[in-house]
Chain A
Amino acid sequence: MSVGKYIKDVWGAVRSLGRGMKRTLYYFTHHKEIITQQYPDNRETLNLPERFKGEVVMPHDEKNEHRCTGCQACELACPNGTIKVVTRFDMIDGKKKKAIDKLVYHLELCTMCNLCIEACPSDAIKMAQTFEHSVFDRNKLTKILNNPGSKIMDGVE
């Protein structure tokens, strides 16, 4: 390596490091813009982003009906066994029909990856915009998503 290139290397390094330091000093002295999302203290005017993923819920309509057919696609899609679908067979018009007994959801295992929602063919589950999930008893994190006595909506296969 020639001496000229050596000196040029050192000079180039000093210059580019100096440019970086100038940039951070500018940020240090001009802190008016904040790029991070702050903790939502403002409960009245709470405005979470649309795609915020808090926990998995199953929406029910006013007749206590949900859209889940018990196909277990969400259970298969889940990478860490968060969802467990317990099915039963109802007798309708003398025919056996598959329906869910319980959809068990382990919030303590969930990584909010959204794969179950994407796997669901009938849009039965969705992500809720809730946060602050901490509880004192671990059992409270195991949730049953379908309401007691609920049944499948008409026309959802």
Chain B
Amino acid sequence: MWSFSNISDNIHDWLSANFNATWTLIIEMVIAGTLVIGLFAMLGLILVIMERKVSAWMQIRLGPNRVGPKGMLQSMADTIKLMVKEGMTPNGADKIMFNLAPFVAMIVAMLLLAPIAFAENFQLWDLNIGVLYITAVSSIMVISILMAGWASNNKYSLLGAMRSGAQIVSYELSAGLSILAIIVLTGSLQVSEIIESQRNGWWLFKGHIPAIIAFVIFIIAVTAETNRAPFDLAEAESELTAGFHTEYSGMKFALFFLAEYVNVFIVCGLGATIFLGGWMPLHIGNWTGFNNAMDYIPSSLWFFGKTFFLIFVIMWFRWSFPRLRIDQLLNLEWKYLLPISMVNLLLVTLMAIMGWHF
């Protein structure tokens, strides 16, 4: 059957038959890097047009409908526009940090992609602390935002960056705790083992109500972590113009924009991996016939389907809810989400010890 792992195995076999081990490794790394950049470009194009169409339909508008069939090439046109624009650096800015910040944002997004399993046996790096790695590296994201805000030498940028710092640092706690709730059940931080443990059902269904609470908290926390509305206080168009990327233009701005969407993809991929079984098809207990029928759908389709469903949910949040004030934002985290996820973690631990889950 056609699958990503077959293709990658064939390429690996062909390369090792024609080159020595070192060159095989180097060529494979180059291929993987190119694929990652290609995936980023595709994600940028697809997610932007998806966001605009989803927002339009939710607000009873038409959305982009001029460029290409039904406006589907709009994001392509926007990309070309951004590429030919001048990337300005303000006179008062810290030149090195200002120009470095978008690349840091991009590099963090690239690093985060490493442990995500896109399909069965198709993963860049299956390290044994995969989930810990993702939560750790994703907090470097805030450094790029702080760099951008500080180096812009602009009060709005600095305010946006500081808000973003407070927001990401506090929401990482509840995101981490809700991930821990599932780690307690799987007993492993390795992405492939987490997926393997969901062979007889996804954790969202196997973990009873605590898993559902953890899932809801996770979705809320990652929405805040990626700085998207209703938690877009870092950008805050109405009061801070654009927050940390006020002074950016052209491709440097586009890199921040792209990094935001890639981060959304990554956190949704992580949510799909932990709660919805990653590439694992929908399996229900011991229903062999049903499980076999589900296995006919390729694993990559399952992964991307779940991820895009979660992305849709996050877009749905964005276009339904009013924005929060900064004090309401921190209240929500420290007075509601964090205590609830702590109690929830205790419940899950009790459940895991007593063996109440399926």
Where the two chains meet, the residues of A that have a C-beta atom closer than 8 Å to any C-beta of B are: 10, 17, 20-21, 23-25, 27-28, 31, 33-36, 38
Q: CB-defined interface of B316-343 with A at 8 Å, one 1/0 digit per residue?
A: 1101110000000000000010001000
Where the two chains meet, the residues of B that have a C-beta atom closer than 8 Å to any C-beta of A are: 54, 57-62, 316-317, 319-321, 336, 340
A24-B58, A33-B60 known; 20 other A-B pairs, CB under 8 Å? A10-B340, A17-B321, A20-B320, A21-B317, A21-B320, A24-B320, A25-B316, A27-B59, A27-B60, A28-B54, A28-B57, A28-B58, A28-B316, A31-B57, A31-B60, A34-B61, A34-B62, A35-B61, A36-B62, A38-B62
Q: Which of B59, B61, B321 contacts A20 (CB 8 A)?
A: B321
What residues on A are CB-neighbors of B57 within 8 Å? Answer: 27-28, 31
B336–A10 CB distance below 8 A: yes
20 contacts between A and B (CB under 8 A): A10-B336, A17-B320, A20-B320, A21-B316, A21-B320, A23-B320, A24-B316, A24-B320, A27-B58, A27-B59, A28-B54, A28-B57, A28-B58, A31-B57, A33-B60, A34-B61, A35-B60, A36-B61, A36-B62, A38-B62
Q: Which of A10, A20, A21, A34 contacts B60 (CB 8 A)?
A: A34
In Å, the complex CA distance between A34 and B336 comes to: 38
What residues on A are CB-neighbors of B321 within 8 Å? Answer: 17, 20
In Å, the complex CA distance between A53 and B139 comes to: 51
What residues on B are CB-neighbors of A21 within 8 Å? Answer: 316-317, 320
B62–A24 CB distance below 8 A: no
Which chain A residue lies CB-closest to B337? A10
In Å, the complex CA distance between A50 and B222 comes to: 48
In Å, the complex CA distance between A110 and B311 comes to: 43
What residues on A are CB-neighbors of B61 within 8 Å? Answer: 34-36
What residues on B are CB-neighbors of A10 within 8 Å? Answer: 336, 340
In Å, the complex CA distance between A23 and B59 comes to: 10
Which 3 A-B pairs have CB atoms at the shortest separation, nearest pair first? A24-B320, A24-B58, A35-B60
In Å, the complex CA distance between A27 and B319 comes to: 11
In Å, the complex CA distance between A23 and B319 comes to: 11
In Å, the complex CA distance between A48 and B54 comes to: 29
What residues on B are CB-neighbors of A35 within 8 Å? Answer: 60-61
In Å, the complex CA distance between A24 and B320 comes to: 6
What residues on A are CB-neighbors of B320 within 8 Å? Answer: 17, 20-21, 23-24
Within the complex, what minimum Cβ distance (angstroms) separates A46 from chain B? 19
In Å, the complex CA distance between A23 and B320 comes to: 8
Q: Which of A10, A28, A33, A38 counts the most B-chain CB atoms under 10 A from its CB?
A: A28
What residues on B are CB-neighbors of A20 within 8 Å? Answer: 320-321
What residues on A are CB-neighbors of B54 within 8 Å? Answer: 28
B336–A24 CB distance below 8 A: no
In Å, the complex CA distance between A34 and B340 comes to: 41
Within the complex, what minimum Cβ distance (angstroms) separates B290 from chain A? 28
What residues on A are CB-neighbors of B340 within 8 Å? Answer: 10
In Å, the complex CA distance between A89 and B319 comes to: 61
Within the complex, what minimum Cβ distance (angstroms) separates A55 from chain B? 24
In Å, the complex CA distance between A25 and B320 comes to: 9
In Å, the complex CA distance between A35 and B61 comes to: 6
What residues on A are CB-neighbors of B336 within 8 Å? Answer: 10
What residues on B are CB-neighbors of A33 within 8 Å? Answer: 60
Within the complex, what minimum Cβ distance (angstroms) separates B170 from chain A? 18
Which chain A residue lies CB-closest to B216? A14
